[in-house]
Structure 1
Amino acid sequence: MPAVIPANEAARQQELTSFQILDTPPDSSFDNLVALAAEICEAPISTVTFIDSDRQWFKAKLGVESDQTPREQSFCAHAILKPNEFMVVPDAAKDPRFEDNPLVTGEPNIRFYAAAPLVSKGLGLGALCIIDRQPRTLKPFQESALRTLASQAAQLMELHRQRAMAENHRRFLHTVMETLAEGVIVRDSQRRLLAHNTMASVLLGTELKDMVGQTFSMLHFKPVQPDGFPIPTEDLPSYKALATGEPQRNVIFGITRPNKTEIWIESNASVLNDPVHGECAVISFRDVSDRKALEKQIQRDGTTDPLTGLPNRAAFLNYVGKAIAAASRYKHPMSVCVASLDDLKAMVAKHGPHAADSALKHFGTILRATLRHEDSVARLAGDDFVALFPYVDANRALTSLDRFKSTLENAQLRLHDGKEITLTGACGLSDWKPGMSAEDLLDSALKACGEAKAKGRNSVAVAAG
């Protein structure tokens, strides 16, 4: 008769699944156990068996051809019902549980069966068993040996689980790295390349997989500083991170790839203490050539606001157009904020035009300083400034604006006559939506800024829908 399904079957199946051992290839460590069990117990058949939902599956087997049989025919399905007890069936043909079992009435003609359950967290997952075609018993030392071998099998199971978990983690990290739009490189303190993602090869224009284990350095790519001079070795992010133990952020430098093309990259580096390789540098970098080209274009075309030194409206709209193209292609969010200095006309009337100029420069400087490195800031006209938040929607951009408003309020402006004043501003945010042009997005943010001004000083509004 088939074994009953234990009351803890769901938990048992979950624990068995956690080992990730079902349907795995043969393993010599398990094979050696069944061979030793058969030899010690003088039996022609031995298996390491796991009880799945509808079958018994053999991780290791001796004297058995098939890899699995139905659960309802399984002797081991009975063994797991009492996971703390050794199971012996002296003569299956005379045992009411097995006398009509196809494995008894037909091949392999089981008569004798003995098993030590394989247990984890008190749950019977399977058994290490020996089988004979003749009725018999076990000697005490044979039973003891079978229990010991089952304990070793349980240890092998746990080792298999740990290895499977490590491999799952490795695959997870590999998938994450391959999903990134940034290049990622890991090298040790001896400059040996340990790991990389595909984007790193793409950005550097060289096949890095051929260099794993070999010496690797950004010096191979003739790095230069923004002023065009070679970057000192000690200033490269990976070298500096390893030397200081401190993360290096947003370091921009130019490189020359093997095909002689030049690109600008923005790089970060952090130190990772690996148990195998010791101190390693994890380096990430992305292509910022378009931004550098835009900066040069701004300088070349005179698209800079002369008072604040920030890009002007034309430069900003040009950059937003490119950002919209990227957002459309890669389906990432983007938002724009128009920030307007409060009470500029009243300030001019009270303190004069010089005070207004100082206030506008102060306002723009704090806006630029308090936003993220990847955010862009420009002056539109009059008392209006604008900021672009790539990869961030309006709700998340509010965090940056809170930081800006707080800094602005706490940083008093000293005027030419020695007086100190506190500045505030109204902010209007708008999300970019597919189909919106740069002008559409700016108009939406301007409208939201108008709504913020209507609320009163130092207010924020977000464009509807």
Structure 2
Amino acid sequence: MIKPEKPASEQSRLEVLKRYEILDTLPERAYDDLLTIAAGICGTPMGSVSFVDADRQFFKSRRGLPVSETPRDVAFCAHAIMTPNQMLIVPDARDDLRFHDNPLVTGEPRILFYAGAPLISSEGEATGTLCVMDNQPRKLDAFQQEAMMVLSRQVTALLELRVSYKKLRHHLSEREWYEEQLKSYQDSLEEQNADLIEQTRLDPLTGLSNRRALNLALDAAIQLAATQGSSLAMAIIDIDHFKTINDLHGHPVGDETLVSVARVIHAQRGQHGFTARCGGEEFALLMSHTDAKNAELQCDYIREAVQNLAQGLPVTVSIGVTLFKAGDTAASLYARADEAMYAAKSGGRNRVVLS
């Protein structure tokens, strides 16, 4: 293992980090949302918004990581801040002399893939990173890399808003004006996050595409199928008895179920598949260049995989599948798949019906 060096401007960097007053603070949804989007775009089970202090890295937000900080000497992010103008991407840590015997690689959480986008302050100092990780080797495409850089800039924007908020608290004496300004900053923060989620077209809970992204993808897929004569299948997937899960076990368990099912659908989507959460407990799967037999088989794999989830409670799905026909619109294709899904429910649930 090669320990990370320290930047030439280390003292200035630490002063900027101190100005943010972010170290050892509690988790905040704004940072968690950005990390959720980053992990969703990159398809990774782990990630963090981390800040590199003098001797440690602190996780302001974390996903799939068991601790809130690690020593700086073993931190991937401490290497990432050494190149503030570019991402650090480690496809397989076992092949990298800097990390191959790192305890975070050889032990839990067994990081093999790492990608970190530095958080650059207005002074040009790298205070930490927005990073995603996996315990499997992988690569990021150009879009994923660009998205990570965009999201890292959004994290920095939150930090700067944090500083402005602190200044307001310090300088304002008139309570009414202070509360108006505070609300304005909070509204601005929430609006930025809402806009970002909408722009990336992701469902923040599951990391899948949302309904808006599905509509765009469906229009494009139908146009391609109509002009090129290629096959197109669509499936609507609904979790059986989901209301009962929420009522009996609570909404946190319901959310865990949605995330688990979403991972199964995404993992089984196939080479030309597009997955989305339509809303509630309903998901959609587009399968380009797929005939009826293979579409039905692929959906049955999903059904079986969900049924075999180690969830601690029984979870099944009903799936309706249909094939694109000449003259179909997005609405008619969706409606036919939806009808097939309801036929699957009427037929006893935990089954696939091809329309």
* Superposition TM-score, scaled by structure 2 size: 0.48
* Superposition TM-score, scaled by structure 1 size: 0.37
Query: Highest relative contact order (Cα 8 Å, sep 6+), 1 or 2?
Result: 2
Task: Choose between structure 1 and 2: higher strand proportion.
Answer: 1
Task: Choose between structure 1 and 2: higher helix proportion.
Answer: 2
